[in-house]
Structure 1
Amino acid sequence: MASLDTVSLAILLGAVLVLAGILSSLLALRFGAPLLLVFLAIGMLAGDSGPGQLQFDDVRTTYLVGSVALALILFDGGLRTRFASIRTVLAPSMVLATVGVLLTALITAPFAKYALDLNWTESLLVGAVVASTDAAAVFLLVHTQGLRLRPRVGATLEVESGTNDPFAIFLTLMLVEYISLGTGTAAHVMMEFAQEAVLGAVVGVIGGRLVVIALNKVALPQGLHAPFVTTAALVIFGGSQIMHASGFLAVYLAGIIIGNRPTRAHNSVVAFLDAATWLAQIVMFVLLGLLVSPSRLGGSVLPAVGIAFVLMLLARPIAVFVCLAPFRFNWREKIFIAWTGLRGAVAIFLASIPMLVGLSKAYLYFDVAFVVVIISLLLQGWTLAPAARKLHVALPRAERGPRRVELDLPGQLEQQLVGYPVRPKSLYFRRGLIPSWSKPTLVIRNESILTPIEAEPIAPGDYIYLLAPPEKAESLDRFFVDMQPSSAPDPHLLGDFMVSGEHTLAELAEIYGVKVSEDESGHTLADYFDVHLDRAPKEGAELVLDPIVLVARSISGGRVNVVGLRLPEDEETPPPLTRRQALRRKLADLWSSVAGV
């Protein structure tokens, strides 16, 4: 019975720790503190050096929980990533995720060697452990601090932080293997990297497609779709690892495949994974906090603080500026991307690998990573929002959207039911406007269900449900938010015509014959200003689109909503391009589509 009581006590204490982390997150959100520090602090207070006096040194369990947590976090990140929004930043993001991680480790290593009295291989391992940014830390802080980043900057950070973990893990494992076995050549390392990357990509793409087929073909009972997808993600991760492929890359790619295909119960899957990743992060950080021993940190605190500042102020900025040199990022964007290289659970998780295999000085790597993460979250985490605004990479927050309800309809994937409360100042109520691709289906009024015809005229306070394609559901929001008063046109602006900022570049190209890249053809004029201006748009801002000059005539909710078109004078037809000029233009267009310039 004593052993049963011990198990019950462990369950109770574990649940209390997680509950304390969840409740304390409310306080951290209120004051803008990095939430991940709260979970670490809970674990430290419960550990053997804190009031809790819990003896915990199970590195294997911590590694297991950390692997599952990181796999779910990366899968959730891929699931929420729209491929259309990241296509133009794939090249700079992948360079940052590979060359950037390697450069960061190489620049950090010399300081670690002399500060910690290590040999070159051990110091490079320290650099590899702290080299990658943490996706969960970056976007959790961006969300909690109310930031809306410029699309190109946000997409670059999103893809980089989601894809640099596999390379950092690979680099760490290679160095641990070399230190423990004393063997390894450059050719062996390159072969291992190629095998892990290629196999991981193949398993991720195939696994993602199989999950999509299973979701749409297998008639699962209601409520089991989300657990099925979550379990399938872990199967993809575990299978990849057994095949000596990168499981972390595989689950991230599988998430992108699943998130960009029409599937059943997509909304319930996303909501379930949101809760699962939150719980995974809390458990992982609490366990990492339990492993920390403040009494052991004394001898390595000062060198670790020095490494943290070298990483933030020297290694990361140099790596970012070198990697982004071929791409047209301005200096403000480069500085912000460099400063947003937050370290989080990944660094501490990587530092647990030497402990797991029993390397000498293993606890030194863990303690250094812990101090680096604390300083990064405190210094970079708390200054993220001011830095974004000071560097003009933050857009004004859009007005809060309406409360949207999305319901999947069994038996088909093309339509879903989308519901909104009707506001008295909304575009739908005042003008009766609704997109042609949506169809009002039912209205709820005073707890009664009515057809749209029975409910005529629609009244404020009604709830209306419409059929709409899942990928367009969010576009309905603007019809159900309060209309903002539009500003009067500025007579000093020289636009010959005025059009709505909601028109797409493809529509403009069709009417005026301007040249628009395929990647940007679906962007609205408002999107075009967001992407290409160096700062938040203001009235009078101008952008060139082929021969036309776009002039911002009116701003609403921080975005351009009326655009003036300044058309060129008639000019002589230019002479046809030579073959060499045509080839150069095609190569330039190809580079623009890949590099996002």
Structure 2
Amino acid sequence: MDPADLNLALLVGAGVLLAAVAAVRISTRAGLPSLLVYLALGLLLGEAGLGLDFEDADLTQVLGTAALAVILAEGGFTTDWKVVRPVAPLAGVLATVGVAVSVAVTSLLVHLVLDVDLRTAIILGAVASSTDAAAVFAVLRSMPIRSRLRATVEAESGFNDPPVIILVTVVTSSAWADSSGPGILGQIGYQLVLGVVLGYVVARLGLWVLVRSALPASGLYPVATLAIAFLGFAVAGVAGGSALMAIYVAGLTLGNADLPHRSATGSFAEGLAWLSQIGLFVLLGLLASPSRLWEALPSALLVGGVLTLVARPLSVVLCATPFGVPWRDQAFISWAGLRGAVPIVLATIPMSVGLPAAERVFDVVFLLVVVFTLVQGPTLPWVARRLGAATGDRPRDLPIESAPLEEIGATLLQFSVPPGSRLAGVEVSELRLPTGSAVSLLLRDGAIAAPTPTTVLRVGDHVLVAAAREDHPAVERRLRAVSDHGRLAGWHVDRPERSPARFGT
């Protein structure tokens, strides 16, 4: 590539990226999901705007899959397993049986009403039925939703991408003519289980190495952590398992472990996830052809209406009722099944294999995502309040960053006292840290001091704790317990927790 062309490409890329970052603020103030702004930016750069001609569906599919892998890894990393574990069975059923019901209902009605062949109807039903992890994570994590209810929708969105991708791949391939229903279900089950196992095993092995390594720079820990997650993705893909399921499970495993420099790793993963979303949506906007979209609008409204008002609610009722989920929570789960990048990326698969109806499928899905995101995204907070899914703001989680000191077998832990934390007002001696651990440094109002046992912590304090390496997990548990429950935390959290009396508490 000529240096001048490279400079021009970097100039355009940096400008688009900065515009996309600024669009996050704009979309937040306007109450619109940011993905719509990114799609609009792609359309503006495309053939109907600045005239950039881009029609490479194969490249879009490859880059889209890589971007989804980053988004799922970050989603898993930032998911609290303690919250997800009680709802994992329900989320798993929604992601498998629920998706199957949704695909069947949508495909049948599309086949009858739109008068398309069965193969095209199944592709449309499957592509549209998968909820989008990026959209769900971005929207729900900015809303005060009951933790278990939010965890159900998030876990479903993380789990349901792999089975739909497998289904679409089989239906669009030459194996479609020889495939049977039980055969496809067996293949989906095999790839999912293998992806879960390999993602977990690779993450645990990588974690074992990482926590015993003293890397020369703290910035290497986030890179190494993400590399472990992608190793799980690659190993599962080579072994014939679901690579996306593997990287989500790997991210979940790593995110719920005692990682060195955890806060830095979380920030790094969040930044990469945002970059992936921006690049993915802009790319999909480039691939779309506005001249064809108006023709597909009636079909998109029909498919989206069937999916949102019939197929999705029916699948949630059938899956959630046996778990005793109240109807109000079922209604929220149904409405919170947001669509985003995943359906549009899946719609590029028929284009990459050259199916006759591929362009129509892509146009319908593209418009479906845009229209129903405009309807569902902005109304979700109102729906949450009406259905009792919203809750008051809770105290912020206590972010604790750790750094291993390999030569002396110790760990340094650093945290800041956030607003709402019950650490504020607690004396250092009342932390009751494990023997041998000590609060060694305190930064307050820009001044560094050595705290005494009677020093009272305040909101905004930056605190440094030194602990033996083997006491690291116990120190973190104790600090978080005091942050949640105050100086009497031992009487609240040292006993086994009772099961919540109501789903979603």
Return the TM-score normalized by structure 2: 0.89
Q: Decide whether aligned partners of structure 1 residues 23 and 476 sit closer, same or farther in structure 2, where only a CA change above 3 A counts.
A: farther
The match for 1:42 is: 41
- Measured in 1, the distance between the counterparts of 2:460 and 2:192 equals 53
- Measured in 2, the distance between the counterparts of 1:245 and 1:535 equals 32
Query: In the alignment, is residue 121 of structure 1 matched against residue 127 of structure 2?
Result: no
Q: Provide Cα deviations, 1:141-171, integer angstroms capped at 9, x if missing partner.
A: 1233xx2222321121121111011111111
8 Å contact kept, 1:229–1:269? yes
Q: Decide whether aligned partners of structure 1 residues 461 and 339 sit closer, same or farther in structure 2, where only a CA change above 3 A counts.
A: closer
Judge which range, 155-164 or 413-422, deviates more: 413-422
- Measured in 2, the distance between the counterparts of 1:236 and 1:69 equals 15
Q: CA deviation at 1:323?
A: 0.8
Pick from 337, 343, 349 the counterpart of residue 347 of structure 1: 343
Pick from 153, 157, 161 the counterpart of residue 161 of structure 1: 157
Q: How does 1:124-523 map to 2 (within 5 A)?
A: 124-144=122-142, 147-178=143-174, 182-222=177-217, 223-398=219-394, 401=396, 406-411=401-406, 416-420=412-416, 428-429=424-425, 434-437=430-433, 439-444=438-443, 447-453=446-452, 463-466=462-465, 469-477=475-483, 504=492, 507=495, 521-522=496-497
8 Å contact kept, 2:195–2:245? yes
Q: Decide whether aligned partners of structure 1 residues 397 and 446 sit closer, same or farther in structure 2, where only a CA change above 3 A counts.
A: closer
**Secondary structure of residue in 1 paired with 2:321:** coil
The match for 1:26 is: 25
Q: Provide Cα deviations, 1:287-328, integer angstroms capped at 9, x if missing partner.
A: 000011110112211111111111111110000000112111
- Measured in 2, the distance between the counterparts of 1:9 and 1:397 equals 46
1:151 partner amino acid: S
- Measured in 2, the distance between the counterparts of 1:162 and 1:13 equals 33
Pick from 470, 487, 501 the counterpart of residue 532 of structure 1: 501
Q: CA deviation at 1:454?
A: 9.9
Q: CA deviation at 1:6?
A: 3.2
- Measured in 2, the distance between the counterparts of 1:253 and 1:69 equals 16
Q: Provide Cα deviations, 1:201-220, integer angstroms capped at 9, x if missing partner.
A: 22112211121022123332
Q: CA deviation at 1:422?
A: 9.8
**Secondary structure of residue in 2 paired with 1:444:** strand
The match for 2:91 is: 93
Q: CA deviation at 1:388?
A: 0.5
1:470 partner amino acid: E
Q: CA deviation at 1:195?
A: 2.8
Alignment root-mean-square deviation, CA: 3.1
Q: CA deviation at 1:227?
A: 1.2
8 Å contact kept, 1:105–1:124? yes
Q: Decide whether aligned partners of structure 1 residues 441 and 127 sit closer, same or farther in structure 2, where only a CA change above 3 A counts.
A: same
Q: Decide whether aligned partners of structure 1 residues 263 and 341 sit closer, same or farther in structure 2, where only a CA change above 3 A counts.
A: same
Q: CA deviation at 1:268?
A: 1.7
- Measured in 1, the distance between the counterparts of 2:105 and 2:36 equals 27
- Measured in 1, the distance between the counterparts of 2:451 and 2:494 equals 34
1:92 partner amino acid: L
- Measured in 2, the distance between the counterparts of 1:304 and 1:133 equals 16
Q: CA deviation at 1:238?
A: 2.5
- Measured in 1, the distance between the counterparts of 2:47 and 2:458 equals 62
8 Å contact kept, 1:197–1:249? yes
Q: CA deviation at 1:464?
A: 4.1
**Secondary structure of residue in 2 paired with 1:394:** coil
Pick from 93, 100, 103 the counterpart of residue 102 of structure 1: 100
Q: Decide whether aligned partners of structure 1 residues 213 and 465 sit closer, same or farther in structure 2, where only a CA change above 3 A counts.
A: closer
The match for 1:511 is: none
Q: CA deviation at 1:426?
A: 7.3
1:13 partner amino acid: V
Q: Decide whether aligned partners of structure 1 residues 151 and 406 sit closer, same or farther in structure 2, where only a CA change above 3 A counts.
A: same
**Secondary structure of residue in 1 paired with 2:439:** strand
Q: Decide whether aligned partners of structure 1 residues 83 and 414 sit closer, same or farther in structure 2, where only a CA change above 3 A counts.
A: farther
- Measured in 2, the distance between the counterparts of 1:269 and 1:253 equals 17
Rg comparison, structure with higher value: 1
- Give identity over the alignment, percent: 33
Please identify which structure carries the higher helix content.
2
**Secondary structure of residue in 2 paired with 1:320:** helix
Q: CA deviation at 1:398?
A: 2.5
Q: Provide Cα deviations, 1:527-564, integer angstroms capped at 9, x if missing partner.
A: x6xx435899xxxxxxxxxxxxxxxxxxxxxxxxxxxx
Q: CA deviation at 1:413?
A: 9.1
The match for 1:72 is: 70
Q: Where do 5+ consecutive residues of structure 1 fail to align?
A: 484-499, 508-520, 537-597
- Measured in 1, the distance between the counterparts of 2:70 and 2:206 equals 15
8 Å contact kept, 2:485–2:492? no
Q: CA deviation at 1:357?
A: 1.3
| Alignment coverage as a number of residue pairs | 493
Q: CA deviation at 1:445?
A: 5.3
- Measured in 2, the distance between the counterparts of 1:367 and 1:477 equals 50
The match for 2:469 is: none
1:70 partner amino acid: L
**Secondary structure of residue in 2 paired with 1:440:** strand
Q: CA deviation at 1:286?
A: 0.4
**Secondary structure of residue in 1 paired with 2:178:** coil
Judge which range, 181-190 or 218-227, deviates more: 181-190
8 Å contact kept, 1:209–1:257? yes
Return the TM-score normalized by structure 1: 0.76
1:136 partner amino acid: A
8 Å contact kept, 1:414–1:470? no
> 1 or 2 for the larger relative contact order (CA 8 Å, sep ≥6)?
2
8 Å contact kept, 1:240–1:247? yes
8 Å contact kept, 1:392–1:535? no
Q: Decide whether aligned partners of structure 1 residues 313 and 454 sit closer, same or farther in structure 2, where only a CA change above 3 A counts.
A: closer
